[in-house]
Amino acid sequence: MPETQRADGADGADLGALREGVRGQVLVAGDPEYDEARRVWNGAIDRRPALIVRCADSADVQQAVAFASGHGLPIAVRGGGHSVAGFSTCDDGVVIDLGLMRSVLVDVDARVARARPGATGAEFDAATQQHGLATTLGVVSTTGIAGLTLGGGIGWLMRKHGLACDNLLSVELVTADGRLVRASADENPGLFWALKGGGGNFGIVTSFEYQLHPVGPTVYGGGMMFARERRRTVLESYRELTRNAPDELTAYAAMTSGPDGSPVAAIAACYAGDVAEGARLLEPVKAAVGEPLLDGLGPLTYIEQQSRVDAGYPHGEHHYWRSCFLDDLTDEVIDILVERASLLESPPVLELIVEQLGGAIAAGDGAFAHREASYDVLIAANWTDPTDRDRCVAWARETAAALEPHSRGGYANYEPDADGAYAPGAYRDRLARLAAVKAEYDPTNLFRLNQNIIPAP
């Protein structure tokens, strides 16, 4: 059957009309750009959508939603294509690709950025840092801003300035019935609350407005690597550092691989304040842990801080991640992390990354439910050889199970796709309110390729 028929279930006339109607591009299998366009960051995800609509503007998104809805096709929304779970694509459905919509406009006087959903963190930072401004985004600058923000948005400025979603001032989105709706604290406030952590459940965001803050151009940050034998000492020193740290500091501890591929323990940090004060706070860690194998801690530009681990997460590498939020980094948790880290060998790269939370996160509002947590543990299995998949996934799942008695749930942006199994742990006591908002804006669950929230009856 021709691809145009498979895409619309008829004679291809509707698909032809869609091609003519959008300012962007419509691709189907057989088109020269189709195979490249269907690839996403996570190489473990290999799907073949019926068509890919590369949208140039909000009107294109509205047309793509109407086409998919009218033909009973599933919708996957792609911003930067960085979804670990593979939500950016689908089999036999419509991928609504926002990658052409990537402008970032900065109002310096108001300290506001207006960004389109295809922009990456690197593009956002490049625009805002021209003016010494920034807001919280992720720690891998190739990540798209859209999915990251809608799922919460953990990053180096979060303890001082809140999560990415906490810095939203407004959004515009296309709803399941094709309307273009604006949401803010004053306009559709219930929807706005749900978008701050509730992911892509409520529509397709076509514009974000963020509050900016004075940051950089120089911060005190980077990281240090230590021999694997220092894992426990690193975690204990990290715990001491973070338990009473000022909000300007966000620090991570990692059991990961060094530049030569060998297992190491590491501490990475960013101090969003006076550079000299950052040095005063972090330099004693070196004395507590011992001589580092690699010392990259010091003054650097904020853009360097944001992109310093990009090379470790290349496009096409395979990934399976889990996560858990913790109230404390107890001795029992450290025991588990050290024991699970002892199984790390390279390749593949299996990582345990402890992310410091707290500070301004607790003061935020919205669907992100883990505001009182002190830490998040990212359990990241990363590999390139497909034959490594089973043992990498098993390691991640077993590690998550070992930490589960100490966990308060997982982070929506890190958890894998499992038919909504992780939504209760991600949204916790917010889930019922989110289900009500879902019923109002997407009663048929058209937008279901996400950490899915079932519409309330």
Q: Of all helices (H) and strands (E), which one includes residue 326?
A: strand 318-326
CA distance 30 to 33: 8
Q: Of all helices (H) and strands (E), which one includes residue 235?
A: helix 231-243
**pLDDT value for 10:** 39
Strands 249-257 and 349-356: antiparallel
Report the 10 Å Cβ neighbour count for 11: 11
Q: Which residue has the tokens 């501890």?
A: 253
Token readout for 138 is 């992720």
Residue 196 lies in a domain: yes
Token readout for 13 is 């006339």
- Under 8 Å CB-to-CB from 330, ≥6 apart: which residues? 406
CA distance 348 to 272: 33
**What is the per-residue pLDDT across 291-331, written as a single tens digit (0 to 9) for each?**
899 999 999 999 999 999 999 999 999 999 999 999 999 99
Give the range of the structural domain holding residue 146, as residue numbers without chain letter: 104-214+429-441
Q: Which residues of the chain have pLDDT under 70?
A: 1-11, 345-347
Residue 173 lies in a domain: yes
Residue 233 lies in a domain: no
**Phi and psi of 240, rounded to 5°?**
-65, -40
**pLDDT value for 346:** 65
Q: Do you find a cis peptide bond into 416, omega within 30 degrees of 0?
A: no
**pLDDT value for 300:** 96
**pLDDT value for 173:** 98
Residue 256 lies in a domain: no
Q: Are residues 189 and 113 in the same domain?
A: yes
Q: Are residues 7 and 86 in the same domain?
A: yes
The CATH number assigned to the domain holding 52 equals: 3.30.43.10
| Helices H / strands E in the chain, number of each | 15, 19
Q: Are residues 111 and 93 in the same domain?
A: no
Longest C-alpha distance within the chain, in Å? Answer: 72
3-state secondary structure of 237: helix
Domain boundary among 97, 124, 155: 97
Q: Are 37 and 48 in contact (CB under 8 A)?
A: no
Q: Are residues 117 and 190 in the same domain?
A: yes
Please, where are the H alpha helices in 372-442? Answer: 389-403, 423-427, 431-441
Residue 162 lies in a domain: yes
Q: Are residues 203 and 151 in the same domain?
A: yes
Token readout for 44 is 């473990």
**pLDDT value for 418:** 74
Any idea what DSSP says for residue 269? E
Q: Of all helices (H) and strands (E), which one includes residue 183?
A: strand 180-184
Q: Are 111 and 211 in contact (CB under 8 A)?
A: yes
Q: Are residues 198 and 140 in the same domain?
A: yes
Residue 190 lies in a domain: yes
Instruction: Report the domain count for the chain.
Output: 2
Residue 41 lies in a domain: yes
Q: Are residues 88 and 29 in the same domain?
A: yes
Q: Are 352 and 323 in contact (CB under 8 A)?
A: no
CA distance 190 to 184: 9
Q: Are residues 39 and 85 in the same domain?
A: yes
- CA dihedral sign of residues 9, 10, 15, 21: negative
Q: Are residues 137 and 187 in the same domain?
A: yes
Please, where are the H alpha helices in 255-330? Answer: 275-289, 302-307
Q: Do you find a cis peptide bond into 292, omega within 30 degrees of 0?
A: no
Token readout for 388 is 């490594």
Half-sphere exposure of residue 393, counting CA atoms within 13 Å on the CB side?
Answer: 12
pTM score, two decimals?
Answer: 0.94
Angle between helices 389-403 and 331-341 (to 10 degrees): 170
Q: Are residues 11 and 80 in the same domain?
A: yes
Q: Are residues 148 and 169 in the same domain?
A: yes
Q: Are residues 121 and 178 in the same domain?
A: yes
Residue 264 lies in a domain: no
The CATH number assigned to the domain holding 170 equals: 3.30.465.10
Residue 17 Cα distances to 281, 438, 454, angstroms: 61, 30, 32
Q: Are 86 and 45 in contact (CB under 8 A)?
A: yes
Residue 435 Cα distances to 184, 204, 220, 413, 438, angstroms: 19, 17, 42, 19, 5
